[in-house]
Amino acid sequence: MSSPSACKVPKQASFWRIALVLSLVLVGLSVGGADEEPKTEGWKEAEAGYRFSFPKDHAAHKDYRIEWWYYTGNLRTAEGRRFGYQLTFFRSGVVRRPTNPSRWALRDLHLAHFAISDVETPSFRSFERINRGGVGWAGAEVSSYRVWNENWQATLRGDDHVLEARDGDAAISLKLTPQKRPVVHGENGISQKGESTGNASHYYSLTRLQTSGTLEWKGSTFRVAGLSWMDHEFGTTFLEAGQVGWDWFSVQLEDGRDLMLFQLRRKDGSIDPHSSGTLVERDGAVLPIRPGTFALEPERTWRSPATGAVYPVRWTVSVPGHNLHLEVVEAFPGQELETPRSAGISYWEGSIQVTSLDGTTSDSTVRGRGYLEMTGYAGKSMAEVFR
């Protein structure tokens, strides 16, 4: 299996894990979604006009039902050995205002995914966790930035983001220093994902985080440095029934520009018109990339031996209005996460290499690295997951 998963729970918590499962059944929730109307009662929807404020908005927004903090990065040792990593925290609201005042009352579920890509070998391992909030095993603070799931956590130290995660002989301890201001995606404070007003999110990124620290891998400890990317998104309803998944690209070019693009795929194979992106210039200037002004063309695929999913792992990315024509290639194919114990989905998320195609940019030698995420290629659609 290309991405073995592990879900670590303290031994003393085994009884309460059973209680958690029973409580999920009692409230009619299935962790991967259900064939019913979205559970939006009491939750706030993402609406136009939202004004971000930092560092306040790094923290949790518990009036909204769905929230995640995504960290990905490409690192290397002094000798040139390359690694990629992903550390992701999810908060999924279950009941907006539990009637039971006990801290054991189920309000939020907290999920987390952690993965390391060893580009040299190549090899890939991923891990997952799920815990309820309110009892200290996992959570996301509101008054200051700290999100955690057992001993995995992201915190703020001054302007630096500090990441800690360990599972067996895989671990990271990293400091991430922003090189640019936070970038808000979409228009008027929201990133619209569908026709309905509520199918949107508040979405921003830290697109260029200078990163240093240690990475432990299969018995060895490495000093590493490189660049990371952070996404934070929150809302209540995201996708519509016909939207099966997305392809999301984060790219950090060596010339100092950063690029985010995503396309939403529909059941009929078409690309949803709410797909969009953002280009961040060297000086931090933010240029929205609107629907219909870019193209993502798959060039080569890889079939997962674990799930049978066929993922496009080589792409041509074109943004004519910004004179960008890029070739995107996976660092290696087998970077698929399987999450049967938490989100209940399989998706591809991994390190990519980027090269401009000759004759279309002012500097035809520009290169970069980044991360690619592809969902909805295996199992249930992402529209079902978000219901």
Ordered mean pLDDT values, 10 residues apiece, the chain (387 residues): 36 38 37 44 91 97 96 98 98 81 78 97 96 89 97 97 98 98 96 86 98 97 98 91 93 97 95 96 96 96 96 97 95 94 88 81 74 92 74
- Tell me the CATH number at 347: 2.40.370.10
Is residue 340 helix, strand or coil? coil
**Domain count within the chain:** 1
Q: What is the DSSP letter of 320?
A: G
Q: Which domain holds residue 113?
A: 11-385
Q: Given this model, what pLDDT does residue 104 score?
A: 67
What pairs with residue 287 in β-bridges? 279
CB contact burial 55-87 (16+ within 10 A = b; e otherwise): eebbbbbbebbbbbbbbbbbbbeeeebbbbbbb
pLDDT in tens, 177-210: 999 999 999 999 999 998 887 789 999 999 999 9
Q: What is the DSSP letter of 62?
A: T
Is there a domain that residue 227 lies in? yes
Is there a domain that residue 3 lies in? no
Is there a domain that residue 4 lies in? no
Chain centre distance of CA 119: 20
What's the pTM value of the predicted model, to 2 decimals? Answer: 0.88
Closest CA to 93 of 22, 45, 145, 35: 45
d(CA 139, CA 263): 30
Q: Given this model, what pLDDT does residue 136 score?
A: 86
Q: Given this model, what pLDDT does residue 135 score?
A: 80
Is there a domain that residue 157 lies in? yes
Q: Given this model, what pLDDT does residue 249 score?
A: 98
Is there a domain that residue 1 lies in? no
pLDDT in tens, 266-301: 999 999 999 999 999 999 999 999 999 999 999 999
Burial of 17 (0-12, 13-18, 19+ CB in 10 A): middle
Closest CA to 175 of 206, 208, 213: 213
Could you give the C-alpha distances from 246 to 52, 61, 210, 334, 382, in angstroms and in order? 25, 24, 27, 19, 8
Is there a domain that residue 26 lies in? yes
C-beta contacts of 26-32 below 8 A and 24+ residues apart: 27/94, 27/95, 27/106, 29/94, 30/344, 31/109, 31/130, 31/342, 31/343, 31/344, 32/343, 32/344, 32/345, 32/380, 32/384, 32/385
Is there a domain that residue 74 lies in? yes
Residue 195 neighbours by CB distance under 10 Å? 11
Is there a domain that residue 5 lies in? no
